[in-house]
Amino acid sequence: MDERFKSAAQMGDMNMTYTLIQEDPYLLDRIDCIPFIDTPLHIAASFGHVQFATEIMRLKPSFARKLNQQGFSPMHLALQNGQTMMVLRFLDYQKDLVRVQGREGKTPLHHVAEEGDVDLLIKFLSACPLSIQDVTIRSETALHIAVKNYQIDVLDFLLGGLRRSFHKGSNIQEKKIINWKDEEGNTALHIAAATNQPHITKKLQQVYSLLEQKDLSHLLKFPNPKMTI
């Protein structure tokens, strides 16, 4: 990519960007042809240049889903760099950007579950409820990630949402999520028991009880011995 364009993205300089486009009308198209690249949107997202990033998305919407060479989308980079306003602009622009799978299949939702950012988690799930279904390359849900990273507040919110769904009667998908097993055959409850998290184990058991499972003991006896946290 043209070094002048990189500089414009780093500074959020829209005037320079249009000067470059006037010189080369296919500038954005050529960038988009590269499968994995730090686009101007990736750069602007990292620096938190919200207006610049919004204009670039308007000109080339596909950049919002493109991964760079490290396997991250612009929204991933905004999260990693603490650019909350940029993250929220991405969410406003297209709600399902929270489902874009980056490196190792992790989505922006998985990132906030891992980091314990409950405020963003609430916003993500309110905007795109189906994002709770996404799994990593290890077949981990946001529940697995929250338990593995000892994020009790995140788990409380996720379980609260599942319980509300149970009471409403629309619990088929919720049952699937709470019973989901990672690639080693472990549910979130297995992981909580195996890592000695009694508080979390109790919370998960309470949700399982809503599934009318009379005997929970089998869920605790055999967490996968090969499991690595």
- With 0-12 / 13-18 / 19 or more C-beta atoms within 10 angstroms meaning exposed / middle / buried, residue 124 is buried
Integer Cα distance of 173 and 175 in angstroms: 5
Tens-place pLDDT, residues 33-44: 999 999 999 999
pTM reported for the whole predicted model: 0.86
Low-confidence ranges of the chain (pLDDT < 70): 161-173, 210-229
Q: What pLDDT, on the 0 to 100 scale, is given for residue 60?
A: 98
Domains and CATH numbers, the chain: 1-89 (1.25.40.20)
Tens-place pLDDT, residues 51-80: 999 999 999 999 999 999 999 999 999 999
Cα 101 from chain centroid?
7
Q: Do residues 50 and 91 make contact, with C-beta atoms less than 8 angstroms apart?
A: no
